[in-house]
Structure 1
């Protein structure tokens, strides 16, 4: 009888020990979030394999309130139906709205109709560089650093040729719209920013009939790019950035700001180059000397700039200013 009790005790001790070990290993990289019910909790697994993961919402209440991980980023046939709220806002940005449903049908008979960037997980560490067009890139010698990231996202017409030592030569994603279109290399994704239905129609035309040559200004009738690398920002994503990140400031977010928030969703580590003023406080592109004012225009650049700086303060991005 004593031997039986001893065996039973040793069995329970071994079971408890193995259970404790399992729970310790499971939770050592997890985060406990306690609710108002003291005895309940939610365990949130590590978001990625980087030392700091952008998508970890537990370390910043400010970030957590704004970041929606399930927002549709890119348009495809299955998510193309717009809510009334998004449709009203998006249609309000354009003067002559066409038949959106017909355009979507045409789009995805030509371009990839699939989910993108659904590979997030605890084993992934995707590093990204978001490269803006600020004059603070000149003389920075950031080129080799920028080129080492997994994704290098560039905005509008920002050139690389002739500026490689400061801005790099690698481009995996080019975010543009018809009025800022340029030819792309074979390894670059064309990411269309559709401010209007006509932008979607231009994309179709540029790869087929080439008949659209003007929007509110003259635009290229065609573009050199890989059809199987075309992506399109979802109008709901545009509205989400406007509501959650721009907080309704301006008429709509800028291309650079939209690209940065996009990077927060598809990257695990985000480094930012070419945003902000030069060391003497001037705002101009690295490829021209025309001065601009970030406080004027439709984008509320001042608020966007403050938000970008806040993201750095919250350890969500690292801004490389080109000067110290």
Structure 2
């Protein structure tokens, strides 16, 4: 009887120990699973690309400059400018400012869309963008099919496609413009308007309504063929952000090409750059004419912009295609 009781005690202790061990095991497993799940969620990819532009964890140099919360586009809720932004932006005016900024922007959004056109970001999306400049190094490049393969093809100012399809492609989803660089667009192209002065915004309104503005600091077209439902207007704060964070104060204000490139970093998951820089013989002419472009280093801090673009490539944030000419 005594031996039997001892055996029962031993079995009870063994079962109790086993139960406690199993409880601790499963509790620990749950903790591990929960922790692992947390890691998975916290490290979930920002996009479906192998490397996502907006990932700030792989470059301290990039994360010091990139500000994901900066307003990209004007809309009806963010037109009020911070005092420092307003003061800096209004100093860019080449034409005397006789108009009230608030009155002008109040006319914009009854006329143009008050929404974003690129809000389809997600962990399963890989939005590829081709930023296409106008350098003569595109001639003979045969980049056309590669450029057209991208989801977004962003072209700058007057760069044509007709007659140059083999080297620059024929697809355009976004065209960067301001009054002095205005060209007609097709119905499916977004007009991304870069306002460097209040008069630029007035011209945009006029171009789709009264058509009465034909002069800024130079003669400009009174109207433009474009889809007003696809107009996007860059926020003045974004221009200052690029000047402060990316140009680091070099030059009076950033060049259109540099602004476009940084804009692409904010709306794309992968950015490939074409038609930037000089030709192989160091000439700065457009692919569509032989006129040498002015290298406005003092106005735009072009030397520093080029260095920054090279750093972006070294940090695997962009891929530069430099052409063959």
Give the TM-score, by structure 2 length.
Answer: 0.91
Q: How far apart in 1 are the matches of 2:51 and 2:324? A: 24
Q: Quote the offset at 1:263 in angstroms.
A: 0.3
Aligned residue pair count: 311
Q: Quote the offset at 1:165 in angstroms.
A: 0.5
Match status 1:7 vs 2:6: no
Residue of structure 1 in register with 2:305 after alignment: 304
1:202-240 deviations in Å (ceiling 9; x for gaps): 111111111111111111111111111000000000000
Q: How far apart in 2 are the matches of 1:129 and 1:200? A: 27
Q: Quote the offset at 1:27 in angstroms.
A: 2.4
Q: How far apart in 2 are the matches of 1:306 and 1:213? A: 37
Q: Quote the offset at 1:19 in angstroms.
A: 3.2
Residue of structure 2 in register with 1:35 after alignment: none
Larger mean Cα displacement after TM superposition, 175-184 or 43-52? 43-52
Match status 1:81 vs 2:80: yes
Residue of structure 2 in register with 1:251 after alignment: 252
Q: Quote the offset at 1:12 in angstroms.
A: 2.9
SS in 1 for 2:54: coil
Q: Is residue 135–residue 275 contact of structure 2 (8 Å, CA) maintained in 1?
A: yes
Cα RMSD for the two superposed structures: 1.7
Equivalent residues in 2 for 1:80-119, closer than 5 Å: 80-94=79-93, 95-97=95-97, 98-119=99-120
Q: Is residue 294–residue 302 contact of structure 1 (8 Å, CA) maintained in 2?
A: no
4+ runs deviating over 6 angstroms: none
SS in 1 for 2:176: strand
Residue of structure 1 in register with 2:4 after alignment: none
Residue of structure 1 in register with 2:6 after alignment: none
Q: Which has the larger radius of gyration?
A: 2
Q: Quote the offset at 1:303 in angstroms.
A: 1.2
Residue of structure 1 in register with 2:9 after alignment: none
Larger mean Cα displacement after TM superposition, 113-122 or 252-261? 113-122
Residue of structure 1 in register with 2:266 after alignment: 265
Residue of structure 2 in register with 1:34 after alignment: none
Equivalent residues in 2 for 1:1-324, closer than 5 Å: 1-2=12-13, 3-27=15-39, 43=42, 45-94=44-93, 95-97=95-97, 98-296=99-297, 298-323=299-324
1:152-180 deviations in Å (ceiling 9; x for gaps): 00000000000000000000000010000
1:323 to 1:26, Cα distance in 2 relative to 1, 3 A: farther
Q: How far apart in 2 are the matches of 1:157 and 1:119? A: 28
Give the TM-score, by structure 1 length.
Answer: 0.92
Q: How far apart in 2 are the matches of 1:82 and 1:68? A: 17
Q: How far apart in 2 are the matches of 1:208 and 1:202? A: 10
Q: How far apart in 2 are the matches of 1:141 and 1:320? A: 11
Residue of structure 2 in register with 1:39 after alignment: none
Q: Quote the offset at 1:5 in angstroms.
A: 4.3
1:264-288 deviations in Å (ceiling 9; x for gaps): 0010100000001111111110001
Q: Is residue 130–residue 273 contact of structure 2 (8 Å, CA) maintained in 1?
A: yes
1:62-115 deviations in Å (ceiling 9; x for gaps): 111111010000000101100000000111011322111111111001001124
Q: Is residue 251–residue 297 contact of structure 2 (8 Å, CA) maintained in 1?
A: no
What are the ranges of 5 or more consecutive residues in structure 1 without an aligned counterpart? 31-42
SS in 2 for 1:103: helix
Q: Quote the offset at 1:23 in angstroms.
A: 2.9
What are the ranges of 5 or more consecutive residues in structure 2 without an aligned counterpart? 1-11
Q: How far apart in 1 are the matches of 2:174 and 2:163? A: 19
